[in-house]
Amino acid sequence: MESWRDVTCPIQRTAMLFADVYIIMILRDLATGQKRFTELQQAGINPRILSQRLKMLTREGVISRTRFVEKPPRVEYALTPKGLALMPILDALKTFGEKYLPLDDNASSSSSS
Amino acid sequence: MESWRDVTCPIQRTAMLFADVYIIMILRDLATGQKRFTELQQAGINPRILSQRLKMLTREGVISRTRFVEKPPRVEYALTPKGLALMPILDALKTFGEKYLPLDDNASSSSSS
DNA sequence: CCGTATCCGAAGGGATACTG
DNA sequence: CAGTATCCCTTCGGATACGG
């Protein structure tokens, strides 16, 4: 498919950039405050994918990368104002999921009769 | 990555199902009323992909498929109530796109000085 | 700690032709 | 009209090991 810049529909433009489950996971985790690389990995994203997505999100201006010159080195990722503007999308995903994708609660139960 | 059913976060569950640009394009087009297969193709989705996504969306209960026994055969796809519940997500995508992904307007202009 | 490099199999998707 | 089948190339991503 073409680049998002070649598309005029704002829905599709946004989707072409951010409709990716890894990106959404990262944004979700940053919604509660700045996070470090390792912390973001905990969500179950491998370092290669994570690095790649963080680069892209930084390039698009939705997250910031702050490098603290310490030992050991520390890097914090945080939402920018543009990134904050994506939060309504996550809210809508959440609302839908809670209502229409309820948990089956058959996960941890092994002793039910 | 695992199945969306193995995930508890409602944001991620929804994203794992619907964070796909083709799905979003289809939902966008159905938002304005029921559409036929060929009409949906006009958005620039090839028949293989379109068929695949329509099947999945039907299986998940967000669209309905109505077959009219005519000659030539006619099939109409439409949003279900569950599909309508996805509209806030598209609204949020649209709002973001309009504000933060403005058109570069260098596409069709060739005679501006 | 924060990534990057490499390997490699799996999946995705464009084009095209074809069938009920 | 509404899809399905096939081909084949590209991309993606999981795992792992390593470098600054």
Residues of B numbered 49-78 whose beta carbons fall under 8 angstroms of chain A's beta carbons: which are they? none
Beta-ladder partners of B36: B76
Whether residue A72 is preceded by a cis peptide bond, meaning omega within 30 degrees of 0, is: yes
Question: What is the full DSSP assignment across A28-82?
Answer: HHHTTS-EEHHHHHTTT--HHHHHHHHHHHHHTTSEEEEEE--SS-EEEEEE-HH
Can you list the residues of chain A whose pLDDT is less than 70?
A: 106-113
List B76's β-bridge partners, or say none. B36, B66
Q: What is the spatial distance between Cα A41 and Cα A34, in angstroms, rounded to a whole number? A: 13
pLDDT for res A70? 83
Nearest to A14 among B86, B97, B103 (CB): B97
Contact B85, A96 (CB under 8 A): yes
Given a cut of 70, whether residue B101 has pLDDT beyond it is: yes
Amino acid B112: pLDDT:
39
Say which residue the tokens 């159905």 belong to.
B30
Shortest Cα distance, chain A CAs vs residue B68, angstroms: 29
How many Å apart are CA B108 and CA B103, to the nearest integer? 11
What pLDDT was estimated at residue A18? 98
pLDDT of residue B110: 40
Other CB atoms within 10 A of residue A74 CB: 12
User: Which domains does chain B possess?
Assistant: 4-90 (1.10.10.10)
A45 Cβ nearer than 7 Å to chain D strand: yes
Q: Which residue has the tokens 């619907």?
A: B18
Nearest CA in chain B to A45: B1
Report the pLDDT value the prediction gives residue B113, as an integer from 0 to 100: 34
How close does chain B come to A74, measured CA to CA in Å?
27
Residues forming a β-bridge with B35: B77
Residue A96 and residue A92: Cα distance in Å, rounded?
A: 6
- For the segment B8-46, what is each residue's pLDDT rounded down to a tens digit? 999 999 999 999 999 999 999 999 999 999 999 999 999
pLDDT at B108 over 50: no
